[in-house]
Structure 1
Amino acid sequence: MGSIPLSPPRIAAQTSLIGTAAEPRLGATSLRQLMGDFLSIGVKKELSMGVLSHLRVVEIGSSAATSYCARMFADFGADVQKVESKAGDPLRRSPPLTPGDHSAWFAFLNFNKSSIIIDASVPNAATRLTELIEHCDILVDGRDVDPAGCPPIDIASIRQRHPRLIYLEASWFGREGPYAGFAATDSTVRALAGLIKLVGPAEGPPLHAPDFQTGILAGLWGFIATASSVVGRLHGEAGRSWSLNIFESSLALSEYLMFEAFARGDVMRRIGINRFWPNFPVGIYPTKKGWLGLSTVTPGQWRAFCDMLDLAELRDDPALAFNEGRLKHMDQIERQFVPRLKALTAQQWFAEGLKRKIPMVPVPEISDLVQDEEKKARGAIVPIVIGREEGLTVGSMQRLTLTPPRRGGSVPAPGEQQHSAHIRTHGSLTGPGSSGCIDAGRQPLHGTRVIDFAMGWAGPLCTRTLADLGADVIKIEAIQYPDWWRGVDRRSGYVDGQIYEMAQCFCIMNRNKRGITLDLKRPQGLALAKRLLAEADIVVGNYSADVLPRLGLGYDVLKLVNPRLVMMSMSAFGASSVHRDCRAYGSTLEQGSGLPSVVGSADKPPVMSHIAFGDPVGGLNGCAAVLLALIHARNTGQGQFIDLAQIECMIPFAAPWITVHSIDGAPLTKYGARHPQFVPHGCFRCAGEDNWIMIAATDAAMWQRLAILIGRPDWASNALLESAEARRDIEDLIEAGIEAWTHTRDADHAMSELQGARVAAGVARLPIDLLKDRHLASRAFLQEVERAFIGSHPQPSMPIREGAAPYAIRSAAPTLGQHNRDVLRELLGLSDAEIAQLASENIIGTAMVS
């Protein structure tokens, strides 16, 4: 949670470049012509002068994570060379497929790249690939996930000859540990990461979103690692070598519930479709027309919701004022309000929610997104050409206003060089300087200062990641209005007892930061903030509405104070959106993203897949955005404003269906627990109460090993069942056979047997299980940190590493105002007497006031 939107001054929406996508063929003017016109009026310049146009990226192997990482470089002008075998990247065959038999998923991951075919059977293949890498800046390596026919190369030797090369290697679980070498799929990894078991009907089986999630999350982390290395290299550093753990990348979604479980115990269970601990009601409900996403978290929001529906009895019941009470009476509460929601349409309730500041949003179908003119105007939905087909896909989420990303593009055919690519035969695209070196222990963002006005989850995760990478992050709160993730309870016992210092979720999101308090409503506090901002590199804020501009801290003011300052607004819908005043949580962002419409079974309600999916996704996208702007600022001295819309950050998870629907307009196929490519695929019951395991057979050989393991050698030897489509005809029978086997086994023992046979499988974990996960323990993923008020507690590491060990956590989250004296004396030169005067006037302080 924590996505309460900002609202800087309205920015006029840009003219849409494409027609209404409800017309699959896009009218008389073809999409290809529109893209040509767009190129003729400025995109050529943007392609050559993008933020990353000085970089060449080489991508090898086949991995959604590395493909998405590389695509983000292409979005901002980098020359990305994708190396494929003669057979092409296996992801080119990944469904859903367009009418022209192109993979919509591959298209989303790879537009604006070039393709180079290197046939490993040719004698000079390894030499050719080595030469290509030695003339690039960044190597993105997905071979550990799938080598995809890539010739063998000596990375260590290449890096010795090319010390400024930035290297990123992705794997499902890392090179070491109990899960290293596990066969995996997107869904089996999400099951292990605690992202499936809490979703669905209470009696089971758990529900889960289709694939395409781990690649996006891990791709964001990969981009953050490599982009931070670009920042470091601007100061003469050598290139860094990173390992990216896809499993650990997914824990960005789980860590909030992991550490709530650490603080509160084993309290989380699956409680029904579109229901999640610890808040209620947070879900999706039917209306007169359409579905409505609802999130009532605070007592004030609950009262406003009851008033809206004329439910005074519920509003005035003190037992229902807080979520704990409402969770105990979910069925009774829903029986009263669900019928009343059918009096108006989802759009009408949305308007009512805006008036009352209730986080509510209509839940769109994929067809609604395809027709959304605002998202096209903002570049969230962009034109794409795939072979002879023209359609739409999801654009860049990093809405840099001075140096924007490319808007749409073409997907390369195997071996096709894009018109913007330029093959260089000598030297790398690196800037001037020696080969450089990396000081031991020096992190890539060392010397970068961040002023953090963010609260909750999304913004603090962004700034926490910057801090983890070495930035000096100064978190600014007020004793009158501290970060609301310290708690929203204003009762005297909570305040006087400093219970707000014991919030586990606050502690994990704000480590490695310095914390000060300033009352920005007072002239002295505002002046001190401006002095800090004058020497900062980045400022991040997610206050609601127009708080920062109204205080005199809008970008129009700050760019005069500090022209090189990067300022990011992390609003729910975007600063230029007509919905910019809509209140939102991370749950609201998922509800409005289109993703719930593809989860579950046909003729069933849209299904949420997380309590606050949008928050960590927004935070990671925000971190990527400020790194891009920081690279530009370090190269040019120019700062800029970033208009990040967190709801747009969620749309990539629905990208393949957007593309397919934009081309053929056909109704969406919902697969439930099944899969369009893998048969069998699903979540199967194991021995004991509510124990489940996710299993997938990704090819014929894996299917045969699975069939033999479960005691059906006749299936394994039946040539008619070699293809997934043939097995689909008896999928019910196959699933029954698998569950007969799993139902007699402990889930972990079943996983061990399946993985021993090289079958993709993952136990469906609860978040609390991850605190004792043997693989995470073997990798020292959880680090023990000591902090006042709560003592020793675990903290998650980043999923990106430069060596075998994770980046060490340098300091615990600050207590309120902990670093007032340090920051005000060190950075602003205030005397002890001046600091004491500020404290006496409550402009600064170390204890919350109610």
Structure 2
Amino acid sequence: MGVFSHLQIVELGSSVATSYCARLFADFGADVQKVEPPAGDPLRRSAPLTPGRQSAWFSFLNFNKSSIVIDADNPEAVTRLTKLIEGCDVVVDGRKVDSAECPAIDVVTIRQRNPEVIYLEASWFGSEGPYSGFAATDSTVRALAGLIKLVGTVEGPPLHSPDFQTGILAGLWGFIAVASSMVKGGAGRSWSVSIFEATLTLSEYQAFEAFAIGDVMRRIGINRFWPGGPAGIYETKMGWIGITTLTPAQWHALCDMLGLFDLRDDQALVLAEDRLLHLERIERQLKAKLLARTAREWFAEGLKRKIPVIPVPEISDLVRDAEKNTRSAIVPVRLGKEVGLTVGSVQRLTLTPPHRGGKVPAVGEQQGSGIAERPRTRIALASSVCAEVNRPPLQGIRVVDFTMGWAGPLCTRTLADLGADVIKIEAIQYPDWFRGVDRRAAYVDSRMYEKTPRFCILNRGKRGITLDLTRPEGVALAKRLLAGADAVVDNYSVGVLAKLGLDYGVLSKLNPRLVIMSMSAFGTDSIHRACRAYGSTLEQGSGLPTVVGSPGDPPVMSHNAFGDAVGGLNGCAAVLVALMHARNTGQGQFIDLAQIECMMPFTAPWITTYSIDGAQPTKYGNRHPQFVPHGCFRCAGADEWIIITATDGRMWQRLARLIGRHDWSEDELLKSPEARRAIEDVIEASIAAWTLNLGAEQAMSELQASRIAAGVTRLPIDLLKDRHLRSRAFFQHIERPFVGLHPQPSMPIREGGSPCALRKGAPTLGEHNREILLGELGLSEVEIDKLLEEKIIGAEMLSETELAKSPGKVSSI
């Protein structure tokens, strides 16, 4: 029995976001009834297609669901759909993205008859605001979200990645909203998710960093990564290698490994931001040296030297990867008469694991229990009263947070935003490295570590204490906290908590209800578990870069630490599933989350097609396998660009008329994307001539006025003044010591019209030591003073000199 095997979920409309959200519930046993028109969900026709003409994207999004056909033209359609919803626990509604001919129903009235049903609605931009009526695609939304403009060659055009990144991110957020509603037994909640705002999870911290240091972000070339480097993908004697060097130690180790001693000894290259100014010289020497050995050989050398390096796999390498098959990162799937592979659930709960693969339903096919359209007695939520909207869904849950950087803190920040009491544990010897790694006296004495935007953004809503976990007194206090906690999250290197005496075996005996999640890069049992990794390393090793760009291009990375944010959201989702199980059974469990596996959903369709016919992925550059035209076009002004696409024949005709090609709009043959493909170069040239005379914002306004999907390619800093986000009060202001009143991004999920209120800013170092140690653990003032004197706790980061004198050290934290 799966954690959600008692749930019936109804999925309406057609959107990647709602399909993926429902798929995550199906992974853990929910009976998902997918409502489709007689011709099937339009996503069934999304490329790439298998030899049997099955959509690999649809397969990934929908295996282990049932399909129920409701024909809107049937007089009984509304009655059938109403009956289905009245008997379910959750409605996942994607009709605002694409109605997929779903019958018009009065959801409000239906929910009045079934007040316990949890409702989730997805839309591109939300129900109000300047963009609310915009036509959109995955790429136009990513352009507006600041995720395209920084990728590509310096001269342009900016380079987009294949679909469906926005839908996967929004689907995760939708799952988090619905699952959080169940942890404390609250039924009846109604959520909305903005796909645009969900996508900002990837770019929000870059926006604030750019604002803090000045608007300095510009496109600096393929596989170059602001604010330092080298951090990219490079060719070797055989294969490609991903390298990320941020710290001085990593840079020196890389130079030593490659024999680049002149670069190592150049004091102008010690800091990553300084190396950015000299990348041409650095990469010229770096690339020549890397050609001497294979990617695998360099990887082995990099591991010895603790450099974040990873071979960049082709899709074929992923399919053949024995570890990913063993860990169920890749699972079998049946698509009609074909059998292939796809990406499994990345929420790797060890006691209550997700389904390992499954079958894609044919149109109208029932799977599993086959209880569609049958009203039933509520099992899941009948014992609880309907939720109070003003009460956060996770109020009463306590999480102990051993995380640093981006991925882990994003996971726990989301839990805090949803009402959990999150206690963040740092040490004055080893504070969260997102506070800054500069230990020079000037940095420490001026408390600059309290002012970094990225730390403030990712740790809001938490309480903070300091404990030196390398010493017995610190570990003992941590155990006392954990004895009364519901969950603990860490993203240290594999084995660090075990060295400290805080491993799963110890903690599960201390508190059998405790949910314990490790968020390592590759998994606790991986052969690569000792590999150092950043979010960029995870992207490099995921296979995604090999499907981005044009034919003949090297593998292409995005321009942010993509893997961190994706890992954080998946970690939050996994904790919620485990908390639900603990609520129902009293049993905690261990979650072995491998962040690199969290990136693999973005490569899922190419894994499927390769597993069936061995075909290598087709690279489209800024074009699209279905939509013609689809591209990134220069506008008037310096480095101004816009993504434009025509998703169907009618949109194409409106586009042709707008750019002055009435002959094209009246040509019946050109209604077909296949016919337009034959003259794609000519079409793109005509669009480019039109956009070049307009500013990007004006071009978007004119295109959207004609209901044509278009999005300006924005820089992350542009988000802070985006008129749509301002109109929706997306940025909320919080007061915090050392920073003052400062903006924070909201969650993209809402109950009602306003964003969920943010409770408090990020904790200063050790801010809540006395509140927690004195007030909750019952320590005396004398005991606390002794802990301060011995530097087991504290409120100020130690400088390099002070750290050298401090007892206790676990350098791999």
Q: TM-score range by the shorter chain?
A: over 0.9
- Residue type of the partner of 1:131? K
- Per the TM alignment, residue 516 of structure 1 is displaced from its structure 2 partner at its CA by 0.3
- Structure 2 vs 1, CA of residues 96 and 440 (structure 1 numbering), >3 Å: closer, same or farther? closer
Equivalence map 1:413-492=2 (5 Å): 413-423=362-372, 425-431=374-380, 433=382, 436-439=385-388, 441-492=390-441
Matched residue, 1:111: 63
Q: Contact 2:31–2:368 (CA<8 Å) still a contact in 1?
A: no
Among 753, 757, 760, which residue is 1:804 paired with?
753
- Per the TM alignment, residue 123 of structure 1 is displaced from its structure 2 partner at its CA by 0.8
Q: Contact 1:244–1:800 (CA<8 Å) still a contact in 2?
A: yes
Partner secondary structure for residue 328 of structure 1? helix
Matched residue, 1:67: 19
- Per the TM alignment, residue 834 of structure 1 is displaced from its structure 2 partner at its CA by 1.6
Cα distance per residue 1:267-310 (max 9 Å; x no partner): 10000000121121100000000000000010100000000011
Q: Contact 1:399–1:625 (CA<8 Å) still a contact in 2?
A: yes
CA distance in 1, matches of 2:486, 2:602: 31
Matched residue, 2:127: 175
- Residue type of the partner of 1:205? P
Q: Contact 2:348–2:574 (CA<8 Å) still a contact in 1?
A: yes
Matched residue, 2:77: 125
Partner secondary structure for residue 494 of structure 1? helix
Partner secondary structure for residue 59 of structure 1? strand
CA distance in 2, matches of 1:620, 1:279: 26
Q: Contact 2:7–2:380 (CA<8 Å) still a contact in 1?
A: no
Corresponding pairs, count: 799
CA distance in 2, matches of 1:706, 1:477: 55
Matched residue, 1:142: 94
CA distance in 2, matches of 1:397, 1:374: 14
Partner secondary structure for residue 675 of structure 2? helix
- Per the TM alignment, residue 424 of structure 1 is displaced from its structure 2 partner at its CA by 6.8
Matched residue, 2:802: none
Partner secondary structure for residue 379 of structure 1? coil
Equivalence map 1:371-410=2 (5 Å): 371-410=320-359
Among 28, 38, 43, which residue is 1:91 paired with?
43
Matched residue, 2:172: 220
Matched residue, 1:411: 360
Among 236, 239, 245, which residue is 1:290 paired with?
239
Q: Contact 2:34–2:68 (CA<8 Å) still a contact in 1?
A: yes
Equivalence map 1:518-529=2 (5 Å): 518-529=467-478
CA distance in 1, matches of 2:272, 2:384: 57
- Residue type of the partner of 1:190? R
Among 186, 194, 198, which residue is 1:249 paired with?
198
Partner secondary structure for residue 474 of structure 1? strand
CA distance in 2, matches of 1:545, 1:173: 39
Among 618, 631, 634, which residue is 2:583 paired with?
634
Matched residue, 1:829: 778
Cα distance per residue 1:637-670 (max 9 Å; x no partner): 0000000000000011011111011101022211
Equivalence map 1:226-245=2 (5 Å): 226-233=178-185, 237-245=186-194
- Structure 2 vs 1, CA of residues 465 and 680 (structure 1 numbering), >3 Å: closer, same or farther? same
CA distance in 2, matches of 1:385, 1:545: 35
Matched residue, 1:201: 153
CA distance in 2, matches of 1:224, 1:365: 31
Partner secondary structure for residue 112 of structure 2? helix
CA distance in 1, matches of 2:668, 2:156: 34
Q: Contact 2:187–2:381 (CA<8 Å) still a contact in 1?
A: no
- Residue type of the partner of 2:647? T
Q: Contact 2:143–2:711 (CA<8 Å) still a contact in 1?
A: yes
Matched residue, 1:699: 648
* Structure 1 range deviating more: 658-667 or 391-400: 658-667
Q: Contact 1:134–1:428 (CA<8 Å) still a contact in 2?
A: no
Task: Tell me the TM-score normalised to structure 2 length.
Answer: 0.97
Among 286, 290, 296, which residue is 1:347 paired with?
296
CA distance in 2, matches of 1:565, 1:362: 36
Among 655, 661, 664, which residue is 1:712 paired with?
661
Partner secondary structure for residue 708 of structure 1? helix
Partner secondary structure for residue 152 of structure 1? coil
- Per the TM alignment, residue 93 of structure 1 is displaced from its structure 2 partner at its CA by 0.5
Partner secondary structure for residue 147 of structure 1? coil
Instruction: Show structure 1 runs of 5+ residues with no match.
Output: 1-48
Among 269, 275, 300, which residue is 1:320 paired with?
269
Matched residue, 1:757: 706
Partner secondary structure for residue 442 of structure 1? coil
Q: Contact 1:136–1:428 (CA<8 Å) still a contact in 2?
A: no
CA distance in 2, matches of 1:480, 1:796: 30
Kindly indicate whether residue 563 of structure 2 is the aligned counterpart of residue 563 of structure 1: no
- Structure 2 vs 1, CA of residues 368 and 307 (structure 1 numbering), >3 Å: closer, same or farther? same
Among 276, 297, 304, which residue is 2:225 paired with?
276
Matched residue, 1:658: 607
Partner secondary structure for residue 101 of structure 2? coil
CA distance in 2, matches of 1:654, 1:336: 32
CA distance in 1, matches of 2:316, 2:457: 38
- Per the TM alignment, residue 252 of structure 1 is displaced from its structure 2 partner at its CA by 0.3
Matched residue, 2:804: none
| RMSD of equivalent CA atoms | 1.0
Percent identity over the alignment is: 72
- Per the TM alignment, residue 160 of structure 1 is displaced from its structure 2 partner at its CA by 1.1
Matched residue, 1:11: none
- Residue type of the partner of 1:737? S
- Residue type of the partner of 1:84? E
Partner secondary structure for residue 206 of structure 1? coil
Partner secondary structure for residue 502 of structure 2? coil
Partner secondary structure for residue 650 of structure 2? helix
Partner secondary structure for residue 184 of structure 2? helix
Cα distance per residue 1:96-131 (max 9 Å; x no partner): 100000100000000000000011111111111011
Equivalence map 1:41-60=2 (5 Å): 49-60=1-12
- Per the TM alignment, residue 426 of structure 1 is displaced from its structure 2 partner at its CA by 3.1
- Per the TM alignment, residue 545 of structure 1 is displaced from its structure 2 partner at its CA by 3.0
Partner secondary structure for residue 425 of structure 1? coil
CA distance in 2, matches of 1:67, 1:826: 46
CA distance in 2, matches of 1:518, 1:708: 66
Matched residue, 1:539: 488
Kindly indicate whether residue 626 of structure 2 is the aligned counterpart of residue 677 of structure 1: yes
Cα distance per residue 1:814-840 (max 9 Å; x no partner): 000000011112220112222122111
CA distance in 2, matches of 1:265, 1:178: 27
- Per the TM alignment, residue 420 of structure 1 is displaced from its structure 2 partner at its CA by 4.2
Instruction: Show structure 2 runs of 5+ residues with no match.
Output: 800-813
Equivalence map 1:555-594=2 (5 Å): 555-594=504-543
- Residue type of the partner of 2:344? G
Partner secondary structure for residue 467 of structure 1? helix
- Per the TM alignment, residue 256 of structure 1 is displaced from its structure 2 partner at its CA by 1.5
- Residue type of the partner of 1:330? L
Q: Contact 1:302–1:315 (CA<8 Å) still a contact in 2?
A: yes
Matched residue, 1:187: 139
* Structure 1 range deviating more: 518-527 or 399-408: 518-527
CA distance in 2, matches of 1:174, 1:545: 40
Partner secondary structure for residue 826 of structure 1? coil
Kindly indicate whether residue 54 of structure 2 is the aligned counterpart of residue 102 of structure 1: yes
Q: Contact 2:134–2:709 (CA<8 Å) still a contact in 1?
A: yes
Cα distance per residue 1:200-243 (max 9 Å; x no partner): 0000000111111011000000000000011132xxx3320000
- Per the TM alignment, residue 431 of structure 1 is displaced from its structure 2 partner at its CA by 3.5
CA distance in 1, matches of 2:638, 2:389: 50
CA distance in 1, matches of 2:27, 2:368: 15
CA distance in 1, matches of 2:445, 2:495: 31
CA distance in 1, matches of 2:355, 2:91: 22
- Residue type of the partner of 1:359? P
Among 106, 115, 131, which residue is 1:163 paired with?
115
Partner secondary structure for residue 795 of structure 1? strand
